[in-house]
Amino acid sequence: MLIVAVHRAGEGDFDGSAAVAERCCGLLAGDANIDAHFERAPELHGSAWPFARARTELCYAERLRRAGQRVDARVQLRAALETFERLGARPWAERAASELRATGERIARRAPTAAEQLTPQELQIALTVARGATNREAGAALLLSPKTIEAHLGRVYRSSACARAPNSRTRCATRSLPLERNPMRAGSGQPSRSPAARRPRSIRGDLP
């Protein structure tokens, strides 16, 4: 009843609250009423909430599969899987892939992402440079020489298929990062250069 009340009142902590309410109602509904809620939720999500929309598609597919509608479930699972992989949400992508295999569909092994091809040290260097640090600053923070930083950055750039054009080092490093660690994930697309970014933490410390 609380979910329905929130939906009808249009109240919630974010714009997708009504869509989440429909998702929850769909999870609680009987098999005969699954579609009524889950088909409405994507319209409410719109294009501004791709992750939330993919979660709704995944929940819809799980309900459909358990109701014996495997073919219909595959449509939702393919869409959810594509979004999760594009956003770099690996645990959710694995869950969607597992559900898709449960419907009887075979999934081709995907190529590793740029971030997955990097060593932990290369990933830390890419994260540091993406925040705006120079080679000298990154080397001082990570206890490496500037030449070593430059050598590692060459592999980072190659893994992200990014040409080393003038003034592109920060953007190239950013392209190699998974979404959850990408400083350009939100905002205007320019990484912020905070005091912490100018003096990154040592590689011995925890990643942010």
Domain boundary pick from 74, 102, 130: 102
Residue-wise pLDDT for 36-80, tens only, equals 888 888 777 777 789 989 999 999 999 999 889 999 999 999 999
Query: Cβ-count burial of 13 within 10 angstroms (0-12 exposed, 13-18 middle, 19+ buried)?
Result: exposed
Residue-wise pLDDT for 98-131, tens only, equals 999 999 888 766 666 666 677 889 888 888 888 8
Same domain? For 69 and 133 the reply is no
Confidence band for 18, pLDDT divided at 50, 70 and 90: confident
Residue 107 lies in a domain: no
Same domain? For 8 and 97 the reply is yes
Same domain? For 94 and 141 the reply is no
Helix 17-28 to helix 2-9 angle (10° resolution) is 150
Mean of the per-residue pLDDT values for the chain?
Answer: 75
Contact between 42 and 61 under an 8 Å Cβ cutoff? The reply is no
- Say how far apart CA 79 and CA 124 lie, in whole Å: 32
Of the listed ranges 28-42, 99-113, 143-157, 163-177, the one predicted with least confidence: 163-177
Q: Give the residue with greater pLDDT, 120 vs 12.
A: 120
| Domain count within the chain | 2
Domain encompassing residue 163: 115-198
| pLDDT reported for residue 156 | 81
Residue-wise pLDDT for 28-42, tens only, equals 888 888 888 888 887
Same domain? For 10 and 88 the reply is yes
- CA 186, 190, 191, 192 torsion: positive or negative? negative
Contact between 7 and 22 under an 8 Å Cβ cutoff? The reply is yes
Integer-rounded Cα radius of gyration of the chain: 21
Our CA angle for 29, 102, 114, nearest 5°, is 110
- Residue 165 scores a pLDDT above 50: no
| C-beta contacts of 10-18 below 8 A and 24+ residues apart | 15/48, 15/49, 16/44, 16/45, 16/48, 16/49, 16/52, 18/44
Q: Which tokens hold the place of 121?
A: 């040290």
- Say how far apart CA 159 and CA 113 lie, in whole Å: 9
> CB within 8 A of 107, min separation 6: which ones?
97, 100, 101
- CA 73, 38, 13, 5 torsion: positive or negative? negative
Average pLDDT value for residue range 150-176: 68
Q: Which tokens hold the place of 92?
A: 């959710």
Residue 206 lies in a domain: no
Same domain? For 63 and 149 the reply is no
Residue 108 lies in a domain: no
| CATH code for position 137 | 1.10.10
